């Protein structure tokens, strides 16, 4: 997923030119993975660009930092305003991906993070489908990882912590090197947890099931929550249910949800086709509705959209 440079990155309240947005090599986070981040998408709508569920993402960033005992020197509304300004300054009116990051900077070294300066940055750039066009269209080929998701007493799985993604990266590399698109991770108890950057839904006899995030040691996905609401509004029953790997093998349909991935059907898991191996009708309905929702084509979800005015409209 190459990055397309844009003009400027927001760093600690100031806009810095893209090529000058640098950190010192002795920054605490670079050594110990201390910090948290978010991934947010903004979409073009018929009424200008809108950031999808901005408040919920920034709220999760603050909560992740709270778990890590990192005090972010910006309020929720300041972070939301900064994100909108990043879209505006970079003229990303066709939509983009936003990456807010809270990291510990230069000043202290040693495992104890207390006392290291807290830095905050928000970057944005245009970004395509996370698992590529083919997986988005025809379904992703998944592998159950040999790497287990963290035990919640090893790493707080409810925080989107920077260091936590070493675990995800190990699983991702294993899956990709073996020829798959993405990994599904099981928790330390053997139950299904999540993808390396996505939550998982199964469809069984017309009903949707997804692992309950805290029990499964999965991130509480904002897309997962949006899809639960959308699916129920479409008339589907949705349950949070602990799942084992054979539940995935026997699902009629399955799909991933996440900001980056959006809604992507699963074609196979461990070389077993999901259903008939083609994206199923319920997955299709959810995917279509989600795509319409983020683009402002479903007025009942308007409150999920943080609209970004152009400077001339302000
Ligand atoms: N699980 C993990 C491990 C993730 O990194 C992500 C992406 N943030 C998700 C689930 C999906 O979360 P969301 O829908 O809020 O993007």
Residues 187-210 have pLDDT tens digits of 999 999 999 999 999 999 999 999
Partner residues linked to 161 by β-bridges: 36
Ligand 1 pocket mutation, candidates 152, 163, 198, criterion most atoms within 8 A of CB: 198
Question: Could you tell me the pLDDT band of residue 117, with boundaries at 50, 70 and 90?
Answer: very high
**For ligand 1, atom 5, which residue shows the shortest CA distance?**
197
pLDDT digits (tens, 9 = 90+) for 129-168: 899 999 999 999 999 999 999 999 999 999 999 999 999 9
Percent of the chain exceeding pLDDT 70 equals 100
- Tell me what pLDDT residue 1 has: 81
- Coil vs helix vs strand at 305: strand
Residue 232 is classified by DSSP as H
Kind and range of the H or E element at 290? helix 281-294
pLDDT in tens, 225-253: 999 999 999 999 999 999 999 999 999 99
Question: Which of 214, 223, 264, 286 has the most ligand 1 atoms within 8 A of CB, as the residue to mutate?
Answer: 223
Strands (E) in the chain, as ranges, are: 8-11, 14-17, 35-37, 40-45, 48-52, 95-104, 118-125, 140-144, 182-186, 192-195, 199-204, 207-210, 238-240, 253-258, 262-269, 272-273, 305-307
Tell me what pLDDT residue 313 has.
Answer: 78
Confidence (pLDDT) at 311: 85
Active site residue 160: yes
The answer on pLDDT for 312 being more than 90 is no
Q: Yes or no: say if 296 and 305 are a contact pair by the CB < 8 Å rule.
A: yes
* Average pLDDT score, the chain: 97
Distance CA 109, CA 174 (A): 32
Q: Would you tell me how many other CB atoms lie within 10 Å of the CB of residue 69?
A: 9
pLDDT value at residue 59: 98
**pLDDT, average across residues 112-141:** 94
* Model confidence pLDDT, tens digit, residues 17-64: 999 999 999 999 999 999 999 999 999 999 999 999 999 999 999 999
Is the pLDDT at 269 greater than 90? The verdict is: yes
Calpha distance 178→185 (Å, rounded): 15
């Amino acid at each position: 997923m190459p990055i397309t440079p844009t003009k400027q990155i927001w760093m600690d309240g100031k806009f810095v030119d893209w090529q000058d947005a640098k950190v010192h090599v002795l920054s605490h986070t670079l050594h110990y993975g201390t910090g948290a981040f978010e991934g947010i998408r903004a979409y073009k709508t018929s009424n200008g660009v809108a950031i999808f569920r901005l408040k919920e993402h920034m709220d999760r960033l603050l909560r992740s930092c709270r778990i890590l005992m990192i005090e972010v020197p910006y309020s929720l509304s300041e972070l939301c305003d900064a994100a909108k300004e990043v879209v505006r300054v970079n003229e990303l009116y066709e939509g983009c991906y936003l990456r807010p990051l809270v990291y510990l900077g230069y000043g202290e070294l040693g495992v104890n993070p207390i006392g290291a300066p807290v830095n905050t940055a928000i970057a944005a750039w245009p970004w395509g489908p996370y698992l590529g066009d083919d997986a988005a269209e025809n379904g992703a080929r998944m592998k159950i990882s040999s790497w287990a998701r963290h035990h919640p007493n090893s790493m707080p799985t409810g925080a989107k912590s920077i260091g936590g993604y070493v675990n995800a990266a190990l699983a991702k590399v294993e899956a990709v090197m073996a020829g798959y698109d993405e990994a599904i991770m099981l928790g330390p108890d053997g139950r299904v947890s999540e993808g390396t950057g996505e939550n998982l839904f199964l469809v069984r006899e017309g009903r949707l099931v997804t692992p309950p995030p805290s029990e499964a040691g999965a991130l509480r996905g904002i897309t997962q929550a949006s899809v639960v609401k959308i699916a129920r509004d479409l008339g589907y029953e949705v349950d949070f249910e602990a799942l084992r790997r054979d539940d995935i093998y026997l699902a009629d349909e399955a799909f991933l949800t996440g900001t980056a991935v959006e809604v992507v059907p699963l074609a196979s898991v461990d070389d077993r086709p999901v259903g008939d191996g083609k994206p199923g009708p319920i997955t299709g309905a959810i995917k279509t509705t989600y795509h319409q929702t983020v683009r402002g084509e479903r007025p009942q979800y308007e409150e999920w959209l943080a609209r970004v005015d152009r400077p001339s409209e302000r």
